[in-house]
Structure 1
Amino acid sequence: MTSFVSLLRIVAQRSLANWRLLATVIFGMVLASALMSSVILYSDAVRDLGLSFTLRQQDPLELDLKVVSNSQPGEPDIYRERRDTTFSLLGRYGGGIIEDTGLYARTSTFFLAEPGVPIDYDDDLRARAHFLFFSDVEDHVTLVEGVAPTPAPPTTDVFQRPSIEVWMSATAARGLGVGPGETFDLQPFWREDVDPVEITIVGLVEPNDPGEEYWFGNAHRLVVDTTRWPTFPFIIDERTFVEVIAPYLPSIDGTFETFAFIDTERVNSRNAERYERNLRALDRAIRAELELSVLRTELPDVIFEYQEKLFFTRLPLFALMLLIVGIALYYLVLVATMLVERQAGEIALLKSRGAGLGQIMTVYLVEGSALTIFAVVLGPLVAAGVIRLLGPTPPFADLSQGELLQVTLTAEAFGMAALGAVLALVALLWPAYRASGASVVHYKQSLARPPKQPLFLRYYLDLVLVGVGAFLFYQLRQRGSLVTENLFGDLSADPLLLVSPALFTLMIALVFLRLFPVVLRVASWALRGLSGATILLGLWRMVRSPLHYSRLILLLLLATSVGMFAAGFRATLDRSFEDRAAYEAGAPGRIVDIRTPSRLSPERMEEFFESMDGLGEASAAARMEVSYVPTAARSVSAQLLGVGENFADVAFWRNDFGGDLPSLLANLQPGEDADLPDGAVVPADSRALGIWTRISLPGNAARPGIRVRDGNGLLYEYLFVSDPVEEDDGWLLYVVDLTRPFNPRNSPPDLTGELEVESVFLSVRRFAAAPGRVTAVLDNLVAYPEGGDRDDAVTIEPFESLDRYQSITGASGSAQTTITRAEVDNDRGRYAAQVSFNYDSFSVTAVGLRLRRSPEPLPVLASESFLEATGVAPGDTFPLRVNRQVLTARVAGSFELFPGYYPGGRDHLLVADLPTLRGAGAGIPRVAGGITPNEVWLGSVEGVELTPEWLEEQGIRAGQVHDQAALFALESSDPLVAASWEGILFLSFGAVLLLTALGFIVFSYLAAQTRSLEFAILRTMGFSGRQIVGVVGFEQLFVIVAGVAAGTALGFPLGRLMIGALALTEDGSDVVPPLLSQVSWETVLSVYGLLALVFIATVAALARLYSRLALHRALRIGEL
């Protein structure tokens, strides 16, 4: 006991003697513990904030619990048992988060009649009624008219019909024309043999707040106005149902719902997983114990998605904090080494007096253990306090409402703090262990000689660590992620890959240590011609003792690399949020699946949207489903997007998607082809068209048709379905009204302008006729003006020449249609158009002639996934089913990514020129209709919120709306993916900068004290004070420049490594589009500026120290 007290006395005396230096050690140990505990505390705080944010984003009704029991018996005993079982299950599995419960029931249907009037069962529109009850409904409604119902006596005689007073919704009563005081008979539809229930309306009510959570979305059930017959919902209470109605009608059934209102404030990160499991177990229990019952709630799925998001967002935090803790431990090694070097003489003296290794290490162990306990206790408190202060900062202000963050100290946090403190203790004991092996002789020698290289450098063990780091770096590059997938498909974090960024940093640092002496010797050789002694003396000192300076340079290197990483990663995340929102939206605004307005040309569609306030340049597009069909047994589905000429002006694009977008789109333009003909012109103000035909099929098997195009490029199809109006020697004249197109119906073209004849065809239908080769002859196509008769007909196409036409062969091409001139020599002309085709009585198709088109295949841009799935290569042609017809397409280019397109196993995209697609994709009448825009890409959205509601106000109905600004706001508002990185980067970089500044100052100050004899001798040799300061300033400047330069060179590849490994979304999928490394040069300059301030302060402090140096005292110290 006496020896232990003596040991404590020695420890206390030594600690007091070196309290200034020991304070820096305490600071490092506390910081290491705080950093380790902050991994838990910070992630828990952000986790709670993120969970709260996630729950706030949901509709509260979707999170509440709703047990629905359909078609359940209403018999009192069965009802009570079911109700009690439901409440019991809810309390057992969710009692901790349920703040209130409620009931709702709707009974079976009754037929309603005036008192004493029998039910007319033959009337399908006879009035119906049913009973509703809500628990405690009187507290949530306002009595508009009438009084509260008088409770009916319990039913004791099943042969005596009950008489019940009820409430009714005032809105429903007004709609049905009833009011207080009216009495009705309700006959149960399933029991015609019992007397009807008598009800009297005594009051009309309205919900206090129909959107109140109490109603659970059921307030609308107070009014039923969607049926063809009158429906009366009568409001009763639970007691009336159980004690009055159900005993009288034991066979009554209904739908019974039990609500449990969730207090989301009670759901936190520590119990969320437990409640997710409980609610899933509750669902299973309800299905097992309650017949025809189910639990409806989104809460378990919301928690599960949140937990998944949490897993992927915490990985970067762990990887970064491991790197920061590594720097903190190195700082401890650096400061502990300086502390032990200062005590080296004392240790050597103890050794010479007989102290053994164990005794010396015991002193340091007791001292370190006391510091460890202090760090374990104080570290989490410091971390919690700093994290709480992040609440009012800009990244968290909106999420925390400007309040301090809520931080909960947990056992895990203290465990991590203990781990950090133990690692710090090891870092403290290691230099003491090395120094305890030196005798007095060795100590005296070390004063006159530079320190030797460590063992791991002398025997090249550092190269082993470099190899390990390189291997993990290679593994991380190959896998591309810190996440691994096990045999069962579960995702987990690989611990070795988590430390790979820290090992990569260590690898580069070791390489630098190996090269630093070489760099010094090269610099000394290059500057040997300088006349002054200041720089040469500084270089000579560093060349002679490179290990001494490499310690400090290594600290600066690590700090600067983290600073560069922080500068790059924050900027990269900001850019990624913007790019992800822009990529999903495709443009500042994108409206997909437009249903109203419809059938507009691209130009008219663009003009329509550009005329709206707040919307900029518009680019119309058409999106449709297509398929690659090399054979009948194989197909690959894809989406085809037709884009206009100005698409590149509005769409979001990066060249890493697939090259230069304008160049890609230029490949879609058709080649120069001036031979494409114009069609026959239907004069303006025409009212009807007629055509002479002679067809070798019955009239029911084939009907002539015509397709015309208006000035906007819209197609209109007409079928001559009426009987022929004239016959001439086997020729039939069919006439069709231009105001009544067959497709689109009820939407005729503008007849005040000219129309162009695009095709003349025969619509061939199934008919019991022998298959074979069929011939049809088409003669003059005539137009009839408004108000004209047969004599006013104008021939617009005599078919004397067929040079501008080509055949229509049907959707599959099996018709093998040919068109030739047939010599007819009648009064209408010499020639007519003869159409020959194979007739199949089992198929429906269209054959005929159309305006000649370019023989070139449809050029498309294909996603890489499509090329991989089909085996098609750029430049190849392939069959493509577009708009119910098969075209030949050619791959004119490819892309990896395209705005709004997310590659997947079966998700493929093709892009075509919209005008070319409109021409090629509508080649077969009756089969391939006209292609019109159904999507608009907007170049800017300003001053308006692009939402479905706003579009509805503008008369636009669309399936999807994408607003880039809204998507970016939503993406960057999630604390798990946005604010968390702001805080952790600030904390980590602040800690590293503080450690670096403190380590640099302490190291420089102690080194100056150690070299006081050296500088005193230099002064006696003629060196001035300015020259001494110049030597020290040059050394410090060289150290800072070398450390900062190496750290900058390391920080950028470290950032790219981390960015590549952490490029995962919140659900674990790859970030689309990929992250692009960015650098915030403002942050870089701030790092440099802070280090410059540290340098200036250190040199100023050293200058003051040397100015007070007493030569005689330093020289006498050197003689000891």
Structure 2
Amino acid sequence: MLRFIFRKMASNKWMVLCLLIGFMLAVGMISSIPMYTDGVLQRMLTKDLENYQVDTKGYPGTYHVKIPYGGENWRSKYLEHDERINAHVKEEMGIPYLSSYNKFTVDYIYALPEVEREAKPKKRFFKLESVSNMESHVDIIHGKYPSNEVKNGVYEVMVSQEAFKAMDLLLDEVYTIKSIVGKEDVPFRIKVVGVFNIKDMGDGYWFQGILPYKESFIMDYAIFYKDFVENADMQVMLKESQWYFALDYHAISIEDLSKILNAYKSEKEWFASNRAISIKFPAISIIDEYYNRAKKLKVSLWILDVPIILMLTFYLSMISKLVVDHDRNEIAVMQSRGAGSKHVFLAYFMESAILASIAIIIGPPIGFGICQILGSANGFLEFVDRVALPVVIKPRYYLYAIGAGIFAMMAMLIPVVLSGGEGIVQHKRQITRTDRKPIWQRYYIDIVLLAISAYGIYTFRMRQKTLVLTGVQSVELGIDPVLFVVSIFFILGIGLFFIRLYPYIIRLIFWLGKKRWSSAIYASFVQIGRSRGQNQFLMIFLMLALSVGLFSANAARTVNANMEERIRYEIGADITIKGDWQTMDVPSSGMNMDENASVSDIDSKPALKYIEPPFEPYTKLSDVELVTKVFRTTNGTVQLSDKWLQNVYIMGIVPHEFGKVSWFRGDLLKPYHWYQYLNLLSKAPKAFLISSNMGEDYNIKQGDNITIKWGDQDYLDGVVYGRVDYWPTYNPNIIKGEKQGKNYLVVANLAYIQAKTSIEPYEVWLKKSEGANSQKIYDEIKENKISVLKLTDASQQIIMGKNDPMLQGMNGALTLGFVISMLISAIGFLIYWILSIQKRTLQFGVLRAMGMPKNSVLGMLIWEQIMTSGISVIVGIVIGGMASELFVPFLQLAHGAAEQVPPFKVLALRKDYIKVYLVMGIMLTLSFLTLAWFISHIKIHQALKLGED
């Protein structure tokens, strides 16, 4: 049997090679999906932890437990806690740590010099502490490290440089230690023998820095443990113990997260009985947030990956059917000569098993290579030099590979089973039957797929309305699984619907020129007409591949463009600056100018008398084209005839400058351009613009009078000149809560505001010159000594956004989808035409024997390509554009309503289409060249022989 199989495979080596490539590609791509997803999620987790360290200056891997003690006989509790904490960190969590210590503290004590050197001896209040592993983390700058032995009844200690100065200590001076809480019966003596400093400021051991030791005497850990922990008489002085671990957060794997969370939860529950116990582990909050981001990323990747998986399924089904159709004559002959269905099935099973085994071995490394390449994706088919994804080939990825291999075998064997029991007579009879329609036409599967797509579109739009009304996160709202597949259903459904119409289109073209067609073209029409729909697989496959490719291109461009637009809209301009405004009298509370503040943190206190800093220096920055002033506050109040609206977002602008400096998408206020609204403000000083949601909720119309105020400012009367859905920095989808309600907006003239109220801090918005360098602007601000509290640069935020692992994951998945579609379309194209030409060798021989020139035979094939592949490419382009417009917005499923401002806009650029056409052209050209080489090596003169057809 094996000899027969290998002989059969050798006789069809090109077909087997294409099948093997298809198997390896399918296995490699399917195994790369979980591999790539894990790599992106791992990068996202590590990046979030790193960003926490940069933003807060705190180490996210800190695991710090503080337990207070008091009274006698607590040593047993300490030993229980010590065993529990160490087992928890080292075994239950399983995260390697860079450094650790156990710290003891004796508090509420004071020191008096044994030899008086002051007229009135000063009590030096301090804490006596001992920290494990400290010797290797300090530099002794004066004296020596304390001894681990008691010498003449005196304990040696060391102090920090700050403590040495602050407590007025002397080196080698002996002090008598007494308690301030009535424990006079346990005095002891100490001697300061050393002054230390931190050896390495970047050492995780010093996560709290040196400030906690500014009032501490540090004793050697071994002697402290012996005399203060194990000694029952001295135990009563111990006030607390601390455990600290600097966990290596770079070693945290996404597979460990559930274990870490469960271990931390178990630890909190174990210590829950004592509220005074403090456990700090900053990484937990990041891991919790990571789960939300991971859900968003997985939703986005599934939306993008499911169509590719379905396309691979279609690809395997297509090539399997073509192979079995090619071998069906041989199967029928075997059945007629006495071979049972089991023998035929076994032969194909072993052949598919050989191909699948090779693919399972090679597939995961192929997937690994794909992940490494796509990890550097910066956009659609755009790559940058970036650290490779943290991907390793894990055993579970081979489970995906095995599953893909088994699935490929099934796809290859199902047509064999369906053809089983068919003898040569039945097979020849089946060949001549042309009236039987394919199953998808008989049961209108194309219409069903389009109906499911319509349902998906309706569900998505209803879901988006729900998000806007409720303001909940998208991942909190259940996602209909149908939404993951509707895009590919639409592409497949409309492609099949076109195939239903295709025969009529061909008949129409033939009828229009039937009196003028050459013999080669006529023969092409005859061949297509008699193909019984065999070319339908190729056509739908090419349409599917090109449509998915264009969908991926448009989705990638849309995702990246909408990310940039969201950042520019939220910031408002190229650069926004909060200046340092001085006050004449500093009150107890003032304007919130925290450097991490957002729009919602802007809160003016007009009772202060502000001194306006010079504005002119901003206008003289060389790489700045335009500058404007913008006043903003979120604690505004709007007075209506019968109601007060609180926490309204109020903006004061200079209209003609604001329009030139601000970023705003032109289609957001259709049918009018937003400049027309700015013109309304320019024409009337008391003109107000309000948000549409406020106008709709309270029936405020154009021409109505409203009054605004904020803080302790006087009331400002104005007239509503227009209502806007969007405005730079304004997010109408934010729900502030049940009490505060929706987010409302009022835009007024800054000149009118400043004329009627006392001057308050405003922001300075800058528009950079074309090709300007942000760093140069920063340097000039510093050189001109412009005092800045906060500077926000849209270009830098965009760079950070592009480096966000979630966006990188989507770009990589989209690029992966396009590359897969192009590769398998080329392979499918080759397989179809090679098998088709092999079956038609006799036909070519007959045509040549009848006198048809070789060029005419080639022309016939070219014309067939135009009517099948050419039409498929054109239709695929059209379907891809339609699918992009309808289904690219589905990528919003991973985001809440507040994150979808400005609204999602599908973007298609010519350069992206050029990329698609270029790659598709290269693939088809290589395929045509391979096909031409194959045709040139066919020995047509040997085809005319008796006994076959």
Fold match by TM threshold 0.5 = yes
The 3-state SS of whatever aligns with 2:146 is coil
Q: Residues 45 and 418 from structure 1, CA distance in 2 versus in 1: closer, same or farther, beyond 3 angstroms?
A: same
Letter of the 1:623 partner, please give it.
R
Q: 1:269 matched to which residue of 2?
A: 254
1:956 equivalent to 2:787? Answer yes
Q: Residues 167 and 363 from structure 1, CA distance in 2 versus in 1: closer, same or farther, beyond 3 angstroms?
A: closer
Q: 1:976 matched to which residue of 2?
A: 806
The 5-angstrom pairing of residues 700-719 of structure 1 reads none
Q: Could you tell which deviates more after superposition, 32-41 or 1105-1114?
A: 1105-1114
C-alpha displacement of 1:369: 4.3
Q: Distance in 2 between matches of 1:1119 and 1:99?
A: 77
Q: 1:677 matched to which residue of 2?
A: none
Q: Residues 1034 and 41 from structure 1, CA distance in 2 versus in 1: closer, same or farther, beyond 3 angstroms?
A: same
Q: 2:853 matched to which residue of 1?
A: 1024
Give the conservation status (yes or no) of the 8 Å contact 2:467–2:473. Answer: no
C-alpha displacement of 1:1102: 5.5
Letter of the 2:709 partner, please give it.
R
C-alpha displacement of 1:66: 0.9
Q: Residues 974 and 482 from structure 1, CA distance in 2 versus in 1: closer, same or farther, beyond 3 angstroms?
A: farther
Give the conservation status (yes or no) of the 8 Å contact 1:622–1:933. Answer: yes
The 5-angstrom pairing of residues 530-549 of structure 1 reads 530=516, 532-545=518-531, 547-549=533-535
Q: 2:866 matched to which residue of 1?
A: 1037
Q: 1:68 matched to which residue of 2?
A: 66
Give the conservation status (yes or no) of the 8 Å contact 1:70–1:293. Answer: yes
Letter of the 1:55 partner, please give it.
L
Equivalent residue in structure 2 for 1:877, among 665, 688, 705? 705
Q: Residues 574 and 538 from structure 1, CA distance in 2 versus in 1: closer, same or farther, beyond 3 angstroms?
A: same
Superposed CA offset, 1:936-988 (max 9, x none): 21213734399999879946353x5422122122211122321x234333333
Equivalent residue in structure 2 for 1:466, among 450, 457, 464? 450
The 5-angstrom pairing of residues 71-220 of structure 1 reads 77=75, 80-81=78-79, 83-91=82-90, 93-111=92-110, 113-115=112-114, 128-151=125-148, 153=150, 163-174=154-165, 177-191=168-182, 198-220=189-211
C-alpha displacement of 1:517: 1.4
Q: Distance in 2 between matches of 1:69 and 1:398?
A: 51
Letter of the 1:103 partner, please give it.
N
Letter of the 1:137 partner, please give it.
M
Q: 1:764 matched to which residue of 2?
A: none
1:1054 equivalent to 2:883? Answer yes
Q: Distance in 2 between matches of 1:1047 and 1:15?
A: 34
Superposed CA offset, 1:716-774 (max 9, x none): xxxxxxxxxxxxxxxxxxxxxxxxxxxxxxxxxxxxxxxxxxxxxxxxxxxxxxxxxxx
Superposed CA offset, 1:411-436 (max 9, x none): 2x333334333432333234334444
Of the two, which has the highest radius of gyration?
1
Q: Distance in 2 between matches of 1:430 and 1:259?
A: 61
Q: Residues 1064 and 466 from structure 1, CA distance in 2 versus in 1: closer, same or farther, beyond 3 angstroms?
A: closer
Give the conservation status (yes or no) of the 8 Å contact 2:102–2:243. Answer: yes
C-alpha displacement of 1:129: 3.2
The 3-state SS of whatever aligns with 1:108 is strand
Equivalent residue in structure 1 for 2:921, among 1085, 1092, 1095? 1092
Q: Distance in 1 between matches of 2:165 and 2:688?
A: 62
Superposed CA offset, 1:181-232 (max 9, x none): 3444555333385686544332222221344211122312333xxxxxxxx5
C-alpha displacement of 1:403: 5.4
C-alpha displacement of 1:270: 0.9
Letter of the 2:75 partner, please give it.
D
Q: 2:297 matched to which residue of 1?
A: 313
Which is bigger in relative contact order (C-alpha 8 A, separation at least 6)? 2
C-alpha displacement of 1:642: 0.7
Superposed CA offset, 1:760-797 (max 9, x none): xxxxxxxxxxxxxxxxxxxxxxxxxxxxxxxxxxxxxx
Q: Residues 1102 and 234 from structure 1, CA distance in 2 versus in 1: closer, same or farther, beyond 3 angstroms?
A: closer
C-alpha displacement of 1:908: 2.9
Q: Distance in 2 between matches of 1:1078 and 1:130?
A: 65
The 3-state SS of whatever aligns with 1:1063 is helix
1:22 equivalent to 2:5? Answer no
Q: Distance in 1 between matches of 2:184 and 2:780?
A: 53
C-alpha displacement of 1:1036: 0.9
Q: 1:236 matched to which residue of 2?
A: 219
Q: Could you tell which deviates more after superposition, 1004-1013 or 70-79?
A: 70-79
Q: 1:840 matched to which residue of 2?
A: none
Superposed CA offset, 1:383-429 (max 9, x none): 23443455677789999965575323232x33333433343233323
Q: Residues 383 and 85 from structure 1, CA distance in 2 versus in 1: closer, same or farther, beyond 3 angstroms?
A: closer
Q: 2:637 matched to which residue of 1?
A: 627
Equivalent residue in structure 1 for 2:265, among 276, 280, 304? 280
Give the conservation status (yes or no) of the 8 Å contact 2:35–2:391. Answer: no
Q: Could you tell which deviates more after superposition, 514-523 or 68-77?
A: 68-77
Q: 2:541 matched to which residue of 1?
A: 555
Give the conservation status (yes or no) of the 8 Å contact 2:109–2:178. Answer: yes
Q: Could you tell which deviates more after superposition, 506-515 or 107-116?
A: 107-116
Q: Residues 584 and 68 from structure 1, CA distance in 2 versus in 1: closer, same or farther, beyond 3 angstroms?
A: farther
Q: Distance in 2 between matches of 1:254 and 1:1054?
A: 68
Q: 2:661 matched to which residue of 1?
A: 650
Give the conservation status (yes or no) of the 8 Å contact 2:628–2:764. Answer: yes
1:989 equivalent to 2:818? Answer yes
Aligned residues: 901
Superposed CA offset, 1:876-923 (max 9, x none): 433433444444443333333333333311333322211122234x2x
C-alpha displacement of 1:578: 1.9
The 5-angstrom pairing of residues 361-510 of structure 1 reads 361-388=345-372, 402=387, 405-411=390-396, 413-436=397-420, 438-445=422-429, 452-480=436-464, 490-491=476-477, 493-510=479-496
Structure 2 gap ranges (5+): 585-607, 737-742
Letter of the 2:669 partner, please give it.
G
Q: 1:799 matched to which residue of 2?
A: none
C-alpha displacement of 1:547: 1.4
Equivalent residue in structure 2 for 1:43, among 37, 42, 51? 37
Q: 1:827 matched to which residue of 2?
A: none
Q: Distance in 2 between matches of 1:10 and 1:470?
A: 51
C-alpha displacement of 1:253: 5.4
Give the conservation status (yes or no) of the 8 Å contact 1:508–1:1050. Answer: yes
Give the conservation status (yes or no) of the 8 Å contact 1:568–1:1079. Answer: yes
C-alpha displacement of 1:557: 0.7
Please tell me the root mean square deviation across aligned C-alpha atoms, in Å. 4.1
The structure carrying a bigger helix percent of its residues is 2
Q: Distance in 1 between matches of 2:315 and 2:501?
A: 21
Q: 1:52 matched to which residue of 2?
A: 46
Q: 1:944 matched to which residue of 2?
A: 775
1:609 equivalent to 2:618? Answer yes
1:931 equivalent to 2:759? Answer yes
Q: Distance in 2 between matches of 1:208 and 1:1067?
A: 47
Q: 2:744 matched to which residue of 1?
A: 908
Structure 1 gap ranges (5+): 1-5, 156-161, 224-231, 672-853, 923-929
Q: Residues 204 and 612 from structure 1, CA distance in 2 versus in 1: closer, same or farther, beyond 3 angstroms?
A: farther
The 3-state SS of whatever aligns with 2:392 is coil
Equivalent residue in structure 2 for 1:1011, among 833, 840, 856? 840
Give the conservation status (yes or no) of the 8 Å contact 2:103–2:242. Answer: yes
Q: Residues 482 and 508 from structure 1, CA distance in 2 versus in 1: closer, same or farther, beyond 3 angstroms?
A: farther
The structure carrying a bigger strand percent of its residues is 1
Q: 1:668 matched to which residue of 2?
A: 681
Letter of the 1:658 partner, please give it.
L
Q: Distance in 2 between matches of 1:428 and 1:1118?
A: 29
Superposed CA offset, 1:603-650 (max 9, x none): 965324334576553211112221234478753321211112311222
C-alpha displacement of 1:292: 0.9
Q: Distance in 1 between matches of 2:284 and 2:562?
A: 30
Q: Distance in 1 between matches of 2:335 and 2:466?
A: 49
Q: 1:1071 matched to which residue of 2?
A: 900
Give the conservation status (yes or no) of the 8 Å contact 1:287–1:294. Answer: no
Give the conservation status (yes or no) of the 8 Å contact 1:1064–1:1070. Answer: no
The 3-state SS of whatever aligns with 2:905 is coil
Q: Distance in 2 between matches of 1:994 and 1:251?
A: 76
Give the conservation status (yes or no) of the 8 Å contact 2:889–2:906. Answer: no
Aligned identity (percent) is 22
Superposed CA offset, 1:122-154 (max 9, x none): x9x975333343323222222222233345649
The 3-state SS of whatever aligns with 1:1073 is coil
C-alpha displacement of 1:98: 3.8
C-alpha displacement of 1:339: 1.9
